[in-house]
Structure 1
Amino acid sequence: MIELQDATKRVGNVIHIKPTNLTLQTGHFNVLLGATGSGKTSLIKMMAGLDPIALGKVLMDGQDVTRLNTQKRKISLVHQFFVNYPHMTVFDNIASPLRVAGMAQSEVEGRVEEAADLLQLRPMLHRRPHELSGGQQQRTALARAIAKESRAVFLDEPLANLDYKLREELREQLPDLFAGRGAVVVYATSEPEEALLLGGQTALMEDGRVTQFGPTADIYRNPENIAAARVFSDPPINVGHITVSGTQAHLAGGGKWTVTDIADGEYTVAVRPHRVTPLRTTDADVELTGRVIVTELSGSDSSAHFQHGEDAWVSLATGVHPYRVGEDHVFYMNPAHCRYFGQDGQRVA
């Protein structure tokens, strides 16, 4: 277990990580999800001992490691870049931390071969990194982390530089590779879809702070605040201003529907793009008219970015749809999938 207690990072007078309290457990994936610059890598470096902490503590299995160097924390770190020793074979790359630790050669060989088998690297053990593909180089780095049997494994966007097919393959394998190894696994990503596929627990990050933490699927369904809703959506979540009067919600730019248990006042409404479609799906759908700005076709899905009042919205729908850029188009939103936030950004319904 890794526990952060008011952990804070400063660079000069600038606070990079605001006081953070977070407990990361063994036994499942712990995902840090946020846009580039949100603080994911900084938080990992603090936990790994690569960056100093200005205030607060880092505990590993109850032990205060705040002032311990990286080597004494017994951790592994896998970057998005392929970090391997170019003059060493794959075998020696995987074995390097074990030899530094003074492990017997017979145990080194056993651990290296086990990790190589897990990552399908046994035929490459005598090759050097320049003889490997990008995917094989990253598998070597992952095998080194597995063979080391660390207390904590930090994966900082490890699949970002791989092609799509390799990303899909490794993403599916990662939870199983580290299952049952007794390590805290922390995985940083900027892709909401990746967090959902990995499951486990997710900490949403924005501007150097954790905005929400909990089971990944629960956070996706029930963001506690508008910041969390924005982080956990790709394409961007649709956000609009509404006025509630009685049981009626009136959306700026046009559109109204019935609401319950929400007091009269001004609110922000948020709805994910796949809940805004070019075709009516239920009798309760609210009609929205907007001018199409950009259209995209990705596989079997079509997206349309459109202007609704003063807000830019996105529709994501299955199939090919005849949008025309610069023309008005009617879209339909099901209010059952709306989330409502107060003036302070906290969720009210």
Structure 2
Amino acid sequence: MVGVRLEHVTKRYGKVVAVDDVSLEVKEGEFFVLLGPSGCGKTTTLRIIAGLEEPDEGRVFFGEEDVTRLPPGKRKISMVFQSYAVWPHMKVYDNIALPLKVQGYPPEEIERRVREAARLVQIEDLLDRYPQQLSGGQRQRVAVARALAVTPRVLLMDEPLSNLDALLRVQARAELKRLQRDTRLTTIYVTHDQVEAMVLADRVAVMNRGRVLQVGPPEEIYSKPSSRFVAHFIGSPPINLFEGTVTPRGVDVGFVVLPVGAGSLEEYSGKRVIVGIRPEDVHLTASPGFIEVEGSVWVTENLGGEYVVLVSVGDVILRARSREKPESERVKVYLDPSKLHFFDKETEARIFS
């Protein structure tokens, strides 16, 4: 087990910059998630850490060891891919044991490690089966067990749950979190699923267009997104975003003037800014200090335990989360002014914390 550090790593494919000057530090024993949309550079970054790709610039460290030019086999890492990558002609036991046999471990040590890895992922009773006799979730457990059996310094996972159905993904997320907590392996996990990142990660790095936009604990990234992109990418249902003009009275967004802290937006006076507020901070019931606006119910989405109500207010559609279904087409919604986010319209960066 070891920490991982990337210093100014860049990777190009012709004119395409896949990874653009990325610097990251993953702490020893941390569950670290690389999150972003398809094509953002997260998998390329993972492959550089694994040694499957060489960076054009920058360096990769495991602890204090520079592994930038070290081949994958010398890095003592394990990798779990999106595809299960289990050998169909081998039983589960042999699938897990294969890398140990290749590395020349004695039979008794192979036996111990295989059974311990199988116990960790709860497939001890499946060791005598073939992959075609297993469900998708069980096959993915075999792939994880095989990665754990070699006792890696770093465990790398590239969207390992994306081939599972929704209910199985929820179960597998909990199992992965428990497994990492028990083993304390330094784990770097790639996903485009922001819910998965929020549930699993000790810290998240949000990426887009090859760059790291923000790094921090999930709750920090959710509550204080560093940019419009991060605010929109994190959160389900997504954050409400609309534009407004900064005036002496506050930010005029057309349907209401939103108050801001004294002096907070002075340098933006007369300029357009982007305003954000999350659906859970838009209410259908009044509270002291909340900002009241009126609109028409556009769509109501029933999520079982709650509703997401889309309300048309002026030229803006506001999403609100509510335990109760609105009873009429015209409704009042109430915005919590302490939960407003403001972003620069040109740079899309967060204006203040």
TM over 0.5: yes
The reply on whether 1:24 has 2:26 as its aligned counterpart is yes
Question: Which residue number in structure 2 is paired with residue 217 of structure 1?
Answer: 219
The reply on whether 1:303 has 2:308 as its aligned counterpart is yes
8 Å contact from structure 1 (residues 287, 331) kept in 2: yes
8 Å contact from structure 2 (residues 239, 278) kept in 1: yes
The reply on whether 1:273 has 2:279 as its aligned counterpart is yes
Question: Which residue number in structure 1 is paired with residue 65 of structure 2?
Answer: 63
8 Å contact from structure 1 (residues 302, 321) kept in 2: no
8 Å contact from structure 2 (residues 60, 68) kept in 1: yes
Deviations along 1:241-272, one digit per CA (max 9) or x if unpaired, are 12232342322x31123221313323221111
Distance 1:68 1:117 in 2: 32
User: For structure 2, which runs of at least 5 residues remain unmatched after alignment?
Assistant: none
8 Å contact from structure 2 (residues 30, 184) kept in 1: no
Question: Which residue number in structure 1 is paired with residue 205 of structure 2?
Answer: 203
8 Å contact from structure 2 (residues 30, 185) kept in 1: no
Which of 278, 287, 294 aligns to 1:282? It is: 287
Quick one: structure 1 residues 322 and 145, their matched pair in 2 at CA, closer, same or farther if it must change by over 3 Å?
A: farther
8 Å contact from structure 1 (residues 199, 217) kept in 2: no
CA-CA distance at 1:201 after TM superposition:
0.8
Match runs of 1:231-246 below 5 Å: 231-246=233-248
Distance 1:163 1:337 in 2: 34
Aligned length: 344
Distance 1:118 1:319 in 2: 43
Quick one: structure 1 residues 254 and 170, their matched pair in 2 at CA, closer, same or farther if it must change by over 3 Å?
A: same
The aligned amino acid for 2:282 is V
8 Å contact from structure 2 (residues 252, 258) kept in 1: yes
Deviations along 1:7-56, one digit per CA (max 9) or x if unpaired, are 11111111111110101112221011222222221211121122231211
Distance 2:174 2:59 in 1: 34
The aligned amino acid for 2:255 is G
Question: Which residue number in structure 2 is paired with residue 346 of structure 1?
Answer: 349
Which of 299, 319, 323 aligns to 1:318? It is: 323
Which of 96, 99, 102 aligns to 1:97? It is: 99
8 Å contact from structure 1 (residues 199, 216) kept in 2: yes
Quick one: structure 1 residues 242 and 46, their matched pair in 2 at CA, closer, same or farther if it must change by over 3 Å?
A: same
Distance 2:297 2:9 in 1: 45
The aligned amino acid for 1:314 is R
The aligned amino acid for 2:259 is T
8 Å contact from structure 1 (residues 34, 40) kept in 2: yes
CA-CA distance at 1:292 after TM superposition:
4.9
Question: Which residue number in structure 2 is paired with residue 38 of structure 1?
Answer: 40
Deviations along 1:172-226, one digit per CA (max 9) or x if unpaired, are 1213312364632011222222222224011011122110112222222222222
Question: Which residue number in structure 2 is paired with residue 75 of structure 1?
Answer: 77
Distance 2:313 2:349 in 1: 24
Distance 1:125 1:214 in 2: 39
The percentage of aligned residue pairs carrying the same residue is: 36
User: For structure 1, which runs of at least 5 residues remain unmatched after alignment?
Assistant: none
Question: Which residue number in structure 1 is paired with residue 171 of structure 2?
Answer: 169
The aligned amino acid for 2:111 is E
Taking only aligned residues, the RMSD between alpha carbons, in angstroms, comes to 2.1
Deviations along 1:138-173, one digit per CA (max 9) or x if unpaired, are 111111111111111111121122223322222112
Q: TM-score, normalised by structure 2?
A: 0.90
Distance 2:327 2:164 in 1: 34
Deviations along 1:308-346, one digit per CA (max 9) or x if unpaired, are 44444422323434576xxx6543221111112234322
Which of 311, 324, 333 aligns to 1:331? It is: 333
Q: TM-score, normalised by structure 1?
A: 0.91
